[in-house]
Structures are given as C-alpha cells and as structure tokens.
Amino acid sequence: MSNLHRLPIVGKRIEALHGDAPALGPTQDPASKRVFVLAPGVAPVSDAEGDLDGLLQVGDLAREVGKTVRAIHHYESVGLLRPHARSKGRYRLYAKDAIARVRWVGKLHELGMSLAQIQQILTVWGQAASAPEAMRKIRAIYQQKLEEVRTQIARLSILEGEVEASLDYLTTCKTCDPNELVAACSACTNHEETHAEPELVAGIYATAESPKP
Amino acid sequence: MSNLHRLPIVGKRIEALHGDAPALGPTQDPASKRVFVLAPGVAPVSDAEGDLDGLLQVGDLAREVGKTVRAIHHYESVGLLRPHARSKGRYRLYAKDAIARVRWVGKLHELGMSLAQIQQILTVWGQAASAPEAMRKIRAIYQQKLEEVRTQIARLSILEGEVEASLDYLTTCKTCDPNELVAACSACTNHEETHAEPELVAGIYATAESPKP
DNA sequence: CCCAACCCTAACGTGTGCGTAAGGGTATGG
DNA sequence: CCATACCCTTACGCACACGTTAGGGTTGGG
C-alpha cells in the first residue's frame, strides 16, 4: 500500500534484506490524525510490500512501525537511527532492519527508558571491544530493566488492589439515602467496619476543596 | 494527550524522615539542602507533632508524605489542596487530613492521572447533588482506572517476558569467542534455533549507529 | 536583641517527546 | 506542464510536574 514509486538511489548499495512477511495489513491508525491515503485509483493488491530495492521512505517506515514521520526524524536526531542512504533528492531511505530498530526503541521506551538512555545502549554496543563484552553489558542493562519492570508491576498490582478495595468499599454507597449530602460522607457509618476506609476514598473528603469561582 | 493509557513507569519519592536524633542543636549541614531537624534543644515526647493546635506547617506535611514543599505548593496551585488556616505571618497550616489528601493525590498520580484529572475528581465530588450520586461518579472513574491499570500490568508483563527471553537468548554469548567483534553478531549462528531472535536483541544491530563525533 | 531555620510570593527554568507550522524541493501519473 | 503526494530543514510550541533562584518576612529559643 505504500507508494509504488521507484526511487533513484544515489548512495552506495545497501545490502537488501528479503524474506520478511509479505502481506502486512495497512493497519490504519484510527486514533491518529495522520492520513494514510492511497494514491487515487491505485490499489496495490498483489504488490504487497516489496518496495523496489527493498528500501523504505520515511513515511513507509513510519507506517510500518506505527509512528509518525516526525518521530522517526526525532529518533534520528537523538542518534537512535540513521537512514542507510539518501535518494538523489535527499530523501531518507531505510533498509528493513530499521523496522526492527524502531520497534526496539519503542519497546525500551515502553519499559520506561528515555530516548537518551536507549541511545546509551547503542553507544555501549558500539564501543565494546568484543562481542561477548558488549553482550555482557547489554545483559546487565536488561537485567536491571527486568527488575525495574517487575518492581513496577508489583507497584501497580498493589494499586490495583487498592482500587478494587475502594470500589468494594463504595458499593455501600448505593444503599445510602439519595438525599444525603456529600458533606455527611466524612461522618458516614454505613460501611462495614471490617474494612478500614481506603486511602483512595479517605483522601477525597479532606478539608480542602477545589472550586474557586 | 495521546497516551492517557500510559501509566508512569516509576515514581520517585523522597524518603519520609522522622527526626528522632538526639538534640544536637540546629544542624548546619552543607551537604544537604533539606534540613530535617526537630526544634533545637527539645525533643517533645508525647507531643510528637503538635505544632499549633495539631496543625502542621507545610514542611511538616511535606516530610510526612515524602514530598517537597514545592510539590505541596504546586498541588495547592492546581486546586488539590488548601491549608486549613494561616498563621499570623501567613504560614500555611494544615490539619492532619491533609496527609490523607496528599497521599490520595500521590496514589492517583501513580495510577497515571494528571494533577488536572485528579482535580476533576474533586470538582465532581464538590458539584454532586447528593452523596450517592457523587459516589457513583467516583466509582465510575475508579472503575475505568482499574481497567487501565490492569491493561498496563498486562503490557508490562509482556515486556517482562520479552526481557527475560532476551536475557535467555544472550546467555549464549558467554560462550562466544572473546575476540569476536560486535560486527559479527548480526551473522551469529551460535544461538539455538528453537528461539527466534528477540526484538529486544535484533534492534541493537540494525544498520544505524550512534557516535557522531 | 540575634540568629538559624523556617516560611512567603513571584517567576523563570528544566527535561521529554514529539506536534506543528513555515518555506520550499522532489517524484510521478495524467 | 500540472497536480498530487510525498519529502526536506529549521525552529518554535506544548504539556507536566515540579526545581530553582530571588528577594524578603516569621518564629522561637538563647
């Protein structure tokens, strides 16, 4: 569904990778304002993905990984990615492994790393004297990330439990007098005493209001 | 606001300290900006924190909840909190329920809500016509947050698995020739074929380096 | 009275990850 | 030649949650 245009390649020849999944659904992003329109009258049905020469323009790459062109540019600007070549008109041309790179960035970002931190990994990688050494360092980073993500999951699980407890606690309110005012909540005695008031509930009616009209 | 679904990975907080050190007089520690000292000379035994009628100064509150004074001020500026009184010299004085309020804010923030969103809850609460109605709305909000946090946990769990798989995959590198260069990794055949190369590994050696000196 | 340790109100600064113009080429079908 | 639909670089803007001066009062013990 990408453009079928052939792009002149000016730079050095880049190793073209082949053998990837051929038919990728266009996967239009509905939440995005980005418009993925086909050229009018063009319906690239059988010509699934193989861009000529196997290189991708930045827009193709962006679509492939679900990012915006701006994001790709940004990644490049912080040293996370570089086009393998440029067209005669200075269009960025990416090999397919750029897809893996961007996805990799995305995952690490989801793991809570900043782009700068992710870039550090590449630096570590590039400066390592040997492959085993590089991998040791990468492993160390990943090991730490693993612990962090586990900690985070634990934290969220606790919060999950607290939200559940609060919802449970608040079910009692369904039986409350419909004319009762919120001001009375802080002195409410309708809740079971078996459960203490959750912090996610108690904090609501502290003596500090909001509206300042 | 494209990532409302995203929850903060990690929350930093300041360790809440309690001054229980012996009376050393006013500490002038140049290494620490924040000085946690009890009133010099006197260590009140039973009257642990009753500054004025059981009210807390902003610094006391901050220490109690592990936030900075600036953060407390900020919360006030966005309508999340208000002092119950002011001293003659316009010092903010908080009742103890302010502690619950701030903790409540902290938890909701950890759940991925912005301060503005949290403030919305207070607005909803304050504008509700009756207590049961207010609680219904709160429950709806919490219900949604519960789903979001569960989604987030699921996402992180997947990532956790991927990191684990990557670490597992990279163990093979320990047996790699110590003189092997990183450039050879992309063509490495030492790894078991039973597991495909994890994306968290593959992305590292795409053809886009970093150092641009 | 003095001083240290607090507190006050602005108000500007910071780090992150892009969004959004602005102004202008490039590539290709018709 | 023209109309699209891409692409380029540069650069300012933004949302968030505070951090950080800056300049100056307040509190309370000694």
A126 and B155: CB-CB below 8 Å? no
**In chain B, what percentage of residues exceed pLDDT 90?**
58
CB contacts, 8 Å: A163 with chain B? 111, 142, 145-146, 149
B206 and A97: CB-CB below 8 Å? yes
The pLDDT confidence band at residue B8, using thresholds 50, 70 and 90, is: low
**pLDDT tens figures, B44-57:** 333 333 334 789 99
- Compute the mean pLDDT over every residue in chain B, rounded to the nearest whole number: 79
Average pLDDT over residues B112-138: 93
With a cut of 80, say whether residue B9 has pLDDT above it. Answer: no
With a cut of 50, say whether residue A203 has pLDDT above it. Answer: yes
Of all residues in chain B, the one with the smallest CA distance to A211 is: B123
Name the class of domain B56-113: mainly alpha
The better pLDDT of the pair A15, B182 is held by B182
Q: Give the minimum alpha-carbon distance from B20 to chain A in angstroms, rounded to a whole number.
A: 27
The pLDDT confidence band at residue B6, using thresholds 50, 70 and 90, is: low
| pLDDT-wise least confident of A7-11, A22-26, A102-106, A176-180 | A7-11
Q: Identify the residue among B64, B118, B143, B182 best suited for mutation to test binding to A, counting A beta carbons within 10 A and taking the highest.
A: B182
Q: Identify the residue among B7, B78, B110, B135 best suited for mutation to test binding to A, counting A beta carbons within 10 A and taking the highest.
A: B135
| Per-residue 3-state assignment (H helix, E strand, C coil) for chain B | CCCCCCCCCCCCCCCCCCCCCCCCCCCCCCCCCCCCCCCCCCCCCCCCCCCECCEEEHHHHHHHHCCCHHHHHHHHHCCCCCCCEECCCCCEEECCHHHHHHHHHHHHHHCCCCHHHHHHHHHHHHHCCCHHHHHHHHHHHHHHHHHHHHHHHHHHHHHHHHHHHHHHHHHHHHHCCCCCCHHHHHHCCCCCCCCCCCHHHHCCCCCCCCCCC
The pLDDT confidence band at residue A186, using thresholds 50, 70 and 90, is: confident
Of all residues in chain A, the one with the smallest CA distance to B188 is: A131
| pLDDT score for A193 | 77
With a cut of 60, say whether residue A52 has pLDDT above it. Answer: no
Domain positions in chain B are 56-113, 128-175
The pLDDT confidence band at residue A25, using thresholds 50, 70 and 90, is: very low
